[in-house]
């Protein structure tokens, strides 16, 4: 609702009574007429300007009401100190992360764990090594049989059967863990234990007996250990 304020020169001496107030009607046209009849003896120019101002005010009031109904953008102030701190920490974390090395290591790990199956020709080398190790460590016959079983199995099957034992944090392979059977799990365990001799030496012996006690499927998560060589961010 708008008010019309009028000022007369006779009252200039009394500031409190200087302005006279009239409430205008809600209807736009009627309000214009009221302005006209209130400012009847005032010059034409002033009346016109007053009506223009009134128009503008009503328009922006309408717009305000419309906008408050829509979703409004909430402005959140940035805090400079915090922004700077976070940027700096991000840079340091980036340096400490050594992403390229980490990715390469992970890919090589997966290659070793044979998640890629037979696509690449390299695994022969690792396979031979594994063979030799197994022959050396345990009785040859039973292991050789198991090896042949591995060979004869399909690529896919072999993928998931071996993948379950590997230190995967890759969740795309997790379902393979869940769908593998117990027997294969126990069977493959030993083979993989000896095959993955490189990194998991400390871990696999633990895994073996632990696994045997619990028949259900366990999921392993990979934890990246930070190479403790050089880090600028300390």
Partner 1 sequence: MAGEGRGAATGDGAGPPAPERVLFPPTFSVSEIKNKQRRHFMFLRWKQQQRKEKLALKKKRRKEREALGDKAPPKAVPKTIENQRVYDETTVDPNDEEVAFDEATDEFAPYFNRQTVPKILITTSDRPRGRTVRFCEQLATVIPNSHVYYRRGLALKRIIPQCIARDFTDLIVINEDRKIPNGLVLSHLPDGPTAHFRMSSVRLRKEIKRKGKEPTEHVPEVILNNFTTRLGHSIGRMFAALFPHDPQFIGRQVATFHNQRDYIFFRFHRYIFKSEKKVGIQELGPRFTLKLRSLQKGTFDSKYGEYEWIHKRREMDTSRRRFHL
Cα gap 138→135, rounded to integer Å: 6
Interaction of residue 36 with partner 1, rule CB under 8 A: no
Identified binder of partner 1 from the candidate list 4, 174, 184, 197, rule CB under 8 A: 174
Closest distance to partner 1 from the beta carbon of 62 (Å): 19
171 within 8 A of 141, measured Cβ to Cβ? no
Stretch 60-89: interaction string toward partner 1, x if CB under 8 A? ----------xx-x--------x---xx-x
Cα gap 106→168, rounded to integer Å: 9
Give the list of residues 6+ apart from residue 111 with CB closer than 8 angstroms, or none.
120, 122, 123
134 within 8 A of 147, measured Cβ to Cβ? yes
Helices within the chain (DSSP H only)? 28-38, 44-69, 80-97, 99-112, 124-137, 140-152, 155-163, 174-179, 182-195, 204-213
Interaction of residue 127 with partner 1, rule CB under 8 A: no
Total residues contacting partner 1 by CB under 8 A comes to: 50
Interaction of residue 90 with partner 1, rule CB under 8 A: yes
Q: Looking at beta carbons only, is 9 or 76 nearer to partner 1?
A: 76
Scan for tokens 């400012």, then name that residue: 39
Q: Looking at beta carbons only, is 24 or 180 nearer to partner 1?
A: 180
Interaction of residue 131 with partner 1, rule CB under 8 A: no
Collapsed DSSP state (helix, strand, coil) of residue 118: coil
Closest distance to partner 1 from the beta carbon of 6 (Å): 43
Cα gap 161→206, rounded to integer Å: 19
Stretch 188-217: interaction string toward partner 1, x if CB under 8 A? ----------------------x-------
Positions in the binding site for partner 1 (CB under 8 A):
70-71, 73, 82, 86-87, 89-90, 92-94, 96-97, 99-100, 102-104, 106-108, 111, 116-117, 119-120, 122-123, 125-126, 169-172, 174-175, 178, 210, 218-224, 226, 228, 231, 233-234
């Amino acid at each position: 609702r708008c008010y019309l304020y009028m000022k007369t020169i006779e009252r200039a001496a009394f500031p409190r009574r200087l302005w006279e107030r009239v409430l205008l009607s809600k209807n736009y046209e009627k309000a214009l007429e009221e302005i006209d009849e209130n400012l009847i003896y005032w010059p034409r120019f002033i009346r016109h300007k007053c009506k223009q101002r009134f128009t503008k005010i009503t328009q922006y009031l309408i717009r305000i009401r419309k906008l408050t109904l829509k979703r409004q953008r909430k402005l959140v102030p940035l805090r400079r100190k915090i922004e700077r701190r976070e940027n700096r920490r991000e840079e340091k974390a980036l340096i400490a992360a050594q992403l390229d090395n980490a990715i390469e290591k992970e890919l090589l790990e997966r290659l070793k764990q044979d998640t890629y199956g037979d696509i690449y020709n390299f695994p022969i080398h690792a396979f031979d090594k594994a063979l030799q190790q197994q022959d050396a460590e345990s009785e040859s016959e039973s292991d050789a049989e198991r090896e042949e079983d591995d060979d004869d199995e399909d690529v896919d099957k072999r993928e998931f059967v071996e993948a379950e034992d590997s230190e995967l944090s890759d969740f795309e392979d997790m379902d393979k863990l869940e769908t593998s059977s117990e027997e294969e799990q126990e069977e493959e365990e030993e083979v993989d234990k000896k095959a993955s001799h490189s990194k998991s030496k400390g871990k696999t012996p633990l895994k073996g007996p632990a696994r045997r006690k619990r028949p259900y499927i366990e999921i392993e998560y990979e934890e990246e250990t930070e190479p403790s060589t050089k880090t600028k961010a300390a």
